Amino acid sequence: MEQTLREFIHYLAVERGLSDNTLEAYNRDLCAFTAFLKQSGVTCFEEVKRNHVVGYIQHLQKNGKAASTLSRNLASIRSFYNFLFLEKRISENPTADLESPKIEKKLPRVLSTQEVEILLEQPDCRQLGGLRDKAMLEVIYATGIRVSELMSLDVSDINLEAGFLRCIGKGDKERIIPLGSVAARYVDEYLQKGRPKLVRSLSENALFVNQHGKRMTRQGFWKILKKYARQAGITKEITPHTIRHSFATHLLENGADLRSVQEMLGHADISTTQIYTQVTRRKLRDVYEKTHPRA
């Protein structure tokens, strides 16, 4: 069974070009499913019937797993059995016609424009690290890119004269995003005064580097963000994705059209972007109820 799983993960990597993080998620979900099958006396994937899959999802549910977790696990199992069916290793797909659990969409947590302003003021640009941190925070808020995309930026991905950056997102899809004059100014200052003193090898292409002169990691950026959030007195739980949510929400609040925001965020489906319109409508409702005399 382990060999079959390895073949499936290899297929996802080579044929579909999925990211390492996505491959790890598939592997984790399917290893847990395999362990459940073995405990149930199933010795090979070809023996699995619809009731085994349903039983596993119910098992997760009884253990208090969220609907989103159930849905993700079922999606992983479904993809795996679609692969086995296409490879003609099974004649019937046990996941056919199985419905995913309904997921209640939670509104994303966002910062107000004032909170973002305070956060962006925290780095001390007189220090090398502070100058780098200022540039990173300005870029992620100016563009709404994912933290993994921010960390993947090379110096050659930034065009300061034209005011845009080149980003490789999910599925290796390239997109060009406006950078904004403020972010461009701080990136330019970082490139002139900060990065040359931080980087230790001429062969290092990373735009943002850590104290060892190597490419900054997601974990490293997360720690930096949390530090500045504490300094700013922001009590909300904040993650790099909070900045991305705030970017999209603030654009829509100021009149940006949904299609443009979708393109900048790199969403394949506009329905993913539409959740931000709910945030802006909620804010309008709050303002109305607080200010209108007959609300």
Active site residues per annotation: 146, 170, 241, 244, 267, 276
- Whether 95 and 48 have beta carbons less than 8 Å apart is answered as no
Sheet with strand 164-168: strands edge to edge: 158-159, 164-168, 174-178
Query: Can you name the CATH fold of 2-86?
Result: DNA polymerase; domain 1 (1.10.150)
Q: State which H helix or E strand residue 61 sits in.
A: helix 50-62
- Whether 153 and 167 have beta carbons less than 8 Å apart is answered as yes
Q: Please classify residue 144 by burial: count the beta carbons closer than 10 Å to its beta carbon, then call 0-12 exposed, 13-18 middle and 19+ buried.
A: buried
- pLDDT, mean over the chain: 87
Write the pLDDT tens digit of every residue in 36-70.
Answer: 988 888 888 888 888 888 888 889 888 888 878 88
Q: Which residues contact 85 (CB under 8 A, 6 or more apart)?
A: 93
Write the pLDDT tens digit of every residue in 91-108.
Answer: 888 888 777 766 556 667
User: pTM of the predicted model, to two decimals?
Assistant: 0.62
For the chain, give every domain's residue range: 2-86, 113-290
Query: Can you name the CATH fold of 113-290?
Result: hpI Integrase; Chain A (1.10.443)
For residue 279 the two structure tokens come to: 């945030």
- What φ, ψ does residue 232 adopt, rounded to 5°? -80, -10
Taking the C-alpha atoms of residue 160 and residue 181, their distance in angstroms, rounded to an integer, is: 9
pLDDT grade for 30, boundaries at 50, 70 and 90: very high
